[in-house]
Amino acid sequence: MKPRLSPPILPILLLCALFQLKAQDNQEPSHACFRLNPERVIPITWMKCTTDSIIYIGDFLTGETWVGKQVFVRIPGTSTSYTLKINEFTFGSDPGSGQVAEYNITPFLREQGNRIALEPDPGETWAGPFNCPLCGEAVLIIRDGIHIRDLTISSYMEPGDHIAFTRIHLYMKSYLPGKNNIRQLNLRLTDPAGNEIASKSIEQSARLSFGQETELDLDITIEEPMLWSPGHPQLYTMELDQLAQGSQGQETISAYFGIRNAFVADSLMVFNGDTLCLNLAGEDLVASLTMLTEEEIRKLIRKNTFNAILYDGSLPCSLLTLFDQEGAVFLTPKAEQLPAAGHSQVNSPSVVRSK
């Protein structure tokens, strides 16, 4: 006999299902932190309108160079439940997850002018992103019709070895009609001293239909790697230029990454065989972390106020980069315990999974 759900449980499950649908309403999948060439990232200028609640409105024109490209809007994380509208059409929403949300608004753009509106849910008042220095700003992101949607960078080296094997794993997606490919990828790798240590061109032959994805691995061997640790935060830089079918201009993505072996045992951190004492930030500092400015956090780290933070939430890319550069550590739960948004942390050497 199959088990039956009692009537009181069914409404609860339905509500949970509706909540999950709302949380993912037209949002793009989470991706790792990376940067695009500046002309592809356009800040949104907001007007604040007060009716029964505060609504933020941003107006913009469709750019002449946007033909054949995809336009995304990125909204910083906020604890306020909101609805996103594009040209009066209700397109997306977020339940106050505190996580960055991206939406592909290309199908709803008009040539004569466009309007984005953020409306808090009834009874809500804005708790951000408009008063959070490190949450970033709302922006339009202009991407080629076929582009690298996500990337992960991993390095492996045996203890005592002098070679690091580095793999750059790319996820490419097409929004173009017919079958198309990225004709060529040009890779440059720069070490922490600013020296170019590797470059290569890769032909990507997979032809993708509309909405399809493919994956590609780029393998690099780094000799005598400069290791990342809290005392010596050495960062490599990866840049990828892509020449895509039917696209005007060149799209460049770049990302930092570090090479290190790290784990945490009790009150000690072990980095590349060296043992460091944990100096955890207090709960009051952790709670106000995203409310401080970048310079304030850099000063606290440099004064040795703390060298590690225990945190299990989503983290803005600007904060991850700051910790990577300054050599402080985020201690987070094991990867399987993290929410999907934890994927933004995947290339950050300052993030260490606790046991």
Task: State the Cα–Cα distance between residues 99 and 214, nearest whole angstrom.
Answer: 26
Question: Could you identify the residue written with the tokens 């993708």?
Answer: 208
Q: State the pairing for strand pair 251-257/35-36.
A: antiparallel
From residue 210, give the alpha-carbon distance in Å to each of 67, 248, 254. Answer: 17, 19, 25
Task: State the Cα–Cα distance between residues 136 and 77, nearest whole angstrom.
Answer: 9
Select the CATH number that applies to the domain covering 146-257 from these four: 2.60.40.10, 3.40.50.150, 1.20.120.50, 1.10.3720.10.
2.60.40.10
Q: Looking at domain 45-137, which CATH architecture does it have?
A: Sandwich (2.60)
CATH topology match: 45-137 vs 146-257: no
Domain ranges of the chain: 45-137, 146-257, 262-353
Nearest to 99 by CA among 17, 171, 32, 30: 30
The CA-based angle 133-137-140, given to 5 degrees, is 170
3-state SS, residue 119: strand
Give the pLDDT confidence of 148-176 residue by residue, as tens digits. Answer: 999 999 999 887 788 999 999 999 999 98
pTM: 0.85
pLDDT at position 247, please?
59
Q: Give kind and range of the element (H or E) at residue 26.
A: none
Give the distance, in angstroms, between the CA of residue 265 and the centroid of all CA atoms in the same chain. Answer: 28
Give the pLDDT confidence of 234-266 residue by residue, as tens digits. Answer: 999 999 998 765 556 789 999 999 999 888 877
pLDDT class for 335, splitting at 50, 70, 90?
low
Mean pLDDT of all residues in 328-355: 76
Give the distance, in angstroms, between the CA of residue 231 and the centroid of all CA atoms in the same chain. Answer: 25
Residues 170/148, Cβ–Cβ less than 8 Å: yes
Give the pLDDT confidence of 10-52 residue by residue, as tens digits. Answer: 333 333 333 344 444 688 998 999 999 999 999 999 888 877 6
The pair of structure tokens assigned to 257 is: 């990454």
Residues 96/80, Cβ–Cβ less than 8 Å: yes
